Amino acid sequence: MSQTEVAELSEPGAPGRGGSSSMPHKRNPVGSAAVLSAATRVPSMVATLLSAMPNEHERALGGWQSEWETLPEIVSLSAAALAHLRSVIDGLQVDTERMRRNIDASRGMVMAESVTLALATSLGRAQAHQIVEAACHKAYAENKDLLTVLQTEPKVVGVLSEQRLAQLFDPLSYVGEAGNFVDRVLEAYQQRKP
């Protein structure tokens, strides 16, 4: 999400952090790289622990000794990943204007699903899908916004008001239960805090 063509998020910067030896303008997401590196390594270590689970009579030689190095390494990698992740999140820079430009770059196509679902309540899923798919093709062919095309489609206008259609194209109305999920996680965290 920090690549030039997306550029919606960037990690906290500091002198000497994330710079490129050949491209001075570049700011590498080093914290995320460390987290992903740990996330890549840990599953194979978990596989080692799972392989060590079956033991012969009285925990015979071999299986459980493989746990000695593996388990502490999993804990160490997980702790390091959490430390890096905390650093990234604490200083995360979010470019909401760029997010909006990226959404708008699709000329509203990214919101086609929400329109299809809204139409489906009156027209049925198959017919709603056909109508929105045809409108998407028309919008691409004529280089228009999907909303503009749908506003002239009689099968849509007869079902969705202009206000409802505009609401369906507002990305802020498309977050669903995300806010409730975040609130529940934060509440659970606060309850467990010493």
Question: Of 17, 41, 51, 59, which is the active-site residue?
Answer: 59
Same structural domain, 31 and 96: yes
> pLDDT digits over 169-192, tens only?
998 887 778 889 999 999 998 998
**CB burial class (10 A; 0-12, 13-18, 19+) of residue 119?**
buried
Would residue 17 show up in a list of annotated catalytic residues for this protein? no
Would residue 59 show up in a list of annotated catalytic residues for this protein? yes
- pLDDT at 63 > cutoff 90: no
What are the distances in angstroms from CA 103 to CA 93, 96, 110, 112, 179?
18, 11, 7, 12, 20
Q: Which among 127, 128, 111, 129 is positioned nearest to 119, based on CA atoms?
A: 128
Confidence of residue 145 (pLDDT cuts 50, 70, 90): very high
Domain CATH for 146 = 1.10.40.30
Question: Of 17, 20, 86, 164, which is the active-site residue?
Answer: 20
Same structural domain, 25 and 84: yes
Residue 71 neighbours by CB under 8 Å, 6+ apart: 49
In a domain? residue 149: yes
Same structural domain, 19 and 88: yes
Confidence of residue 13 (pLDDT cuts 50, 70, 90): confident
Confidence of residue 153 (pLDDT cuts 50, 70, 90): very high
